[in-house]
Amino acid sequence: MDIKVKFDGLELSNPLMPAAGPLVGDAEKMLWLEKEGCGAIVAKTISTHDAHIPHPCIYGDKDYIMNCELWSEHPKEKWINEFLPYFKAHSDGRPLIVSVGYTKEDMKELIPVLDKFADAFEVSTHYVGNDLNQLAETVKTIRSLTKKPFYMKISAHMPDPEGFAKTIKANGANGVVAVNSLGPSMKIDIASRSIIYGNTKGFAWTSGPYIKNIALATVYTIKQAEPSLTVIGVGGIQSASDVIEFLLAGANAVQMLSAPMLRGKQLYRKIIEDLPKELEKYGFKSIQEAIDTNLDNHAMFGFGDVPSLNADKCVACGTCEKICPYFAIKMDPKPVMNPDKCFRCGLCVSKCPTKALKYVKVEE
């Protein structure tokens, strides 16, 4: 199974790379992820000065990370004189994407001194705001400073992903990284009556499996608006099937960070090893076939019959009756649907633990 990907002159042995953050905060960490098999390496976001980070700064729950770590805690000089030269000297040659932030003025200072190390740039817009004119000027500035590919990372505060995509395309960017962490968000400790894991305002930013569906929608929106843009999907990936979902939504490659922080850093290698068999499971002959597949929209606007029940699969757990918002299901001893009350919403079908319920669409 061929899982190589190519875009903008970059060649990756597989589509999975780390996202900018604590796991790529120095050369040692980046080299470790290279040995784990990541198709490309992304450095932690470098800015014109080191970040002053509160401690503690990272909170992990079941399906999300809250982080107020900001950008790299190391000054740009340490990256230029130590981390990046060491990485390039010991790397096996896979692409290095250098993440930088944030403003047009920052780009003028950072791009020239980092260009010799980067195979491509990722540009965080997390603190730039949602002014597309300001975004356009930033993109123009970057394009004037490097011939390398660069990708603008879109944040949740950007209310117009289509406008974002069209603006960066028109001004010289190669693509988008979608999406950055969502926020601001907050963690409250009831016992101590206090905000924990936050900046001076009490805020952090949320990432991880919790935000996957938002990230998928943003990737899809951008790809539909500007099909020629390279899209790197990030936000909520924790399995090989998640990778395939992002590719079907329009991504050319993906990044992952939060799930390994929740499940263990070995997750990178596991997903890369799982990817060929997961592609085969769904009938793909290569990773490129998944990327090239047009995603159909099977939304059902016509009412079908009530969900049908496979009695052999049903274990009479009662979940469907408990969750039905229309009070249309009664257990007797297995679920019985009231067609007059059933709204055909599909919740019971999606939540059935044994997949015993199936939604039926009326044939046109």
Task: Write out pLDDT tens, residues 290-341.
Answer: 999 999 887 666 657 899 999 999 999 999 999 999 999 999 999 999 999 9
The model carries a pTM of: 0.94
**Whole-angstrom Cα distance, residue 179 to residue 177?**
6
Find all residues with CB under 8 Å of 281, minimum gap 6, and list them: none
Which pLDDT belongs to residue 190? 96
Q: Which residue has the tokens 């039905």?
A: 324
- DSSP H helices, 250-346, are 258-263, 267-281, 287-292, 319-323
Residue type, 54: P
Higher pLDDT pick, 363 / 105: 105
Residue-wise pLDDT tens digits, 25-65: 999 999 999 999 999 999 999 999 999 999 999 999 999 99
Of 71-85, 134-148, 170-184, 347-361, the one with minimum mean pLDDT is: 347-361
- Strands (E) across the chain are located at 5-7, 10-12, 16-18, 41-42, 58-60, 65-67, 96-100, 120-124, 150-154, 175-178, 182-185, 187-189, 194-196, 204-207, 230-234, 253-256, 305-309, 329-331, 335-337, 357-360
- Set out the domains of the chain in order of their start, with CATH numbers: 5-292 (3.20.20.70), 305-360 (3.30.70.20)
The strand pair at 194-196 and 187-189 is best described as: antiparallel
Copy the structure tokens of residue 137.
Answer: 């000027």
Tokens of 352: 């059935």
pLDDT of residue 70: 86
In a 3-state reduction of DSSP, which class is residue 219? Answer: helix
Report how far residue 150's alpha carbon sits from residue 172's, in angstroms, rounded to the nearest whole number: 9
Predicted pLDDT at 23: 98
Given a contact cutoff of 8 angstroms between Cβ atoms, the answer to whether 145 and 111 are in contact is yes
Which pLDDT band holds residue 364 (cuts at 50, 70, 90)?
very low
Neighbours of 272 (CB within 10 A): 20
Which residue, 286, 234, 282, 288, is CA-closest to 260? 234
Q: What is the pLDDT of residues 109-123, one digit of tens each?
A: 999 999 999 999 999
User: How many residues are present in the chain?
Assistant: 364
Q: What is the pLDDT of residue 303?
A: 59
Mean pLDDT of 273-293: 97
Instruction: List pLDDT tens digits, range 142-155.
Output: 999 999 999 999 98
